[in-house]
């Protein structure tokens, strides 16, 4: 590969229900990018791991081929292969990792295991090069809710995380309760736009004015109580035969409560760290109400970074970008490396602001 300085990277993402591959040029341009969403899970109202793994296996060759063809390159032109090695569903993860290991071995090229949530951190920088540390990051996906401070790429401090459901999981579960399809986030956002968020008051779990920095719940999240409150509300409305009329209002009330907690805790991190640069990442960061609320609270003397909706959801481009960062630091995989459903976040230290 002769263009630019540095390697050409192929990134592969198969940790959940998107099969995605991207080719990243040496100067960080996305040359080819394919994201294939599996619709089989809609039938079950959630991701079925075994079906996800099978679907990845069926599609991975075609997805990589198409990304390479968009880039006008062959596999042999790739210098480094990056793949999500965790966290995620082990079957789906293994499909991507085994594919990349085999290709790397066959080509005699290095491969880089990527942490899925670190990849989400890199997504906004693909579209806006100024989306780089230092920043406070709110990472909200179907499996994780993390609030951290990034002093530099690879240097992260965990401030808070969810104690039960992830933010995206809460959107998905509430959507199911409301009789809406999977994934719930985008459907709830659309429906909520037609509802009144104040009509049904819902709790803001783990958010109290009395909390102080240093309290264990100051930055942590909890969404299971909010979900239980929605269960109760839905039961009452159904018993009264009012569910159809109230569905949009319940969706709006739930979204307002979830966004309020996420934005409030992010702002606490901004105030405590003194860092007015905020990055939103992960699938839930596609939510326009969350983006607007955080931007509003950060104000005009700060910056809020997020990617386009396409790159906020799971994708291979963010994996390629994170792999490039790790490769530049020399973090290539050992021969025995594999996938891990609970891969630790690299460079993440624990501690309050
Ligand atoms: O990062 P992601 O694509 O996959 C995981 O790593 O889990 O996130 C998927 C999650 C799902 O729970 C989905 O419902 C949620 O992101 N999501 C949204 C929106 N779009 C996707 N949640 C709220 N509002 C949205 N617009
Ligand atoms: Zn994700």
For residue 105, say if its preceding peptide bond is cis, omega within 30 degrees of 0.
Answer: no
Phi then psi for 273, rounded to 5 degrees?
A: -85, -20
**pLDDT tens profile 141-189:** 999 999 999 999 999 999 999 999 999 999 999 999 999 999 999 999 9
Cα 129 to middle of ligand 2, angstroms: 21
Q: What is the whole-number distance in angstroms between the Cα of residue 142 and the centre of ligand 1?
A: 6
Which protein residue's CA is at the shortest distance from atom 18 of ligand 1? 185
What is the model's pLDDT at position 5?
83
Mean pLDDT of 229-246: 98
Q: Cβ < 6 Å from ligand 1: which residues?
A: 16, 141-143, 168, 171-172, 183-186, 189, 282-284, 286-287, 313-314
Q: Whose CA is closest to atom 23 on ligand 1?
A: 185
Mean pLDDT of the chain: 96
The domains spanning 9-122+312-350 and 129-306 adopt the same CATH topology:
yes
What does the pLDDT look like over 118-134, one tens digit per residue? 999 999 999 999 999 99
Which residue owns the Cα nearest ligand 1 atom 22? 185
CA of 127 to the centre of ligand 2 (A): 17
| Gap between the Cα atoms of 63 and 67, Å rounded | 6
Q: For residue 254, which ligand has an atom nearest its CA? A: 1
The hierarchical CATH code for the domain 9-122+312-350 is 3.30.420.40
Q: What is the per-residue pLDDT for 2?
A: 41
Residues 250-307 have pLDDT tens digits of 999 999 999 999 999 999 999 999 999 999 999 999 999 999 999 999 999 999 999 9
pLDDT in tens, 310-324: 999 999 999 999 999
Domain 129-306 has CATH 3.40.50.720: no
Going by alpha carbons, the residue nearest to atom 16 of ligand 1 is 283
Residue spans per domain, the chain? 9-122+312-350, 129-306
């Amino acid at each position: 590969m002769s263009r630019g300085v540095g390697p050409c990277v192929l990134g592969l993402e198969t940790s959940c229900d998107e099969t995605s591959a991207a080719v990243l040029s040496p100067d960080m341009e996305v040359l080819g990018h394919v994201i294939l969403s599996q619709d089989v899970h809609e039938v079950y109202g959630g991701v079925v791991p075994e079906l996800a793994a099978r679907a990845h296996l069926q599609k991975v060759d075609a997805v990589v081929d198409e990304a390479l063809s968009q880039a006008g390159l062959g596999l042999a032109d790739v210098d480094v292969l990056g793949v999500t090695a965790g966290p995620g569903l082990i079957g789906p993860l293994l499909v991507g990792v085994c594919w990349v290991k085999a290709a790397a071995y066959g080509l005699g090229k290095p491969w880089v295991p990527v942490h899925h949530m670190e990849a989400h951190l890199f997504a906004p920088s693909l579209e806006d090069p100024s989306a780089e540390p230092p920043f406070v990051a709110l990472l909200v996906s179907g499996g994780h809710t993390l609030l951290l401070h990034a002093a530099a790429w690879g240097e992260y401090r965990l401030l808070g995380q969810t104690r039960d459901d992830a933010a995206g999981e809460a959107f998905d579960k509430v959507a199911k309760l409301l009789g809406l399809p999977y994934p719930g986030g985008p459907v709830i956002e659309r429906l909520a736009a037609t509802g009144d968020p104040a009509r049904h008051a819902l709790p803001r779990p783990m958010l109290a004015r009395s909390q102080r920095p240093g309290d264990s719940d100051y930055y942590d999240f909890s969404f299971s109580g909010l979900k239980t409150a929605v269960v109760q509300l839905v039961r009452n409305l159904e018993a009264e035969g009012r569910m159809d009329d109230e569905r949009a209002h319940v969706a709006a009330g739930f979204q307002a409560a979830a966004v309020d907690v996420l934005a409030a805790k992010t702002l606490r991190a901004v105030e405590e760290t003194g860092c007015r640069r905020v990055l939103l990442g992960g699938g839930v960061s596609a939510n326009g109400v969350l983006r607007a609320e955080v931007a509003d609270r950060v104000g005009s003397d700060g910056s809020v970074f997020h990617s386009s909706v396409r790159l906020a959801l799971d994708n291979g481009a963010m994996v390629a970008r994170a792999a490039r960062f790790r490769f530049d630091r020399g973090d290539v995989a050992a021969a025995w490396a594999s996938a891990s459903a609970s891969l630790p976040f690299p460079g993440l230290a624990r501690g309050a602001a």
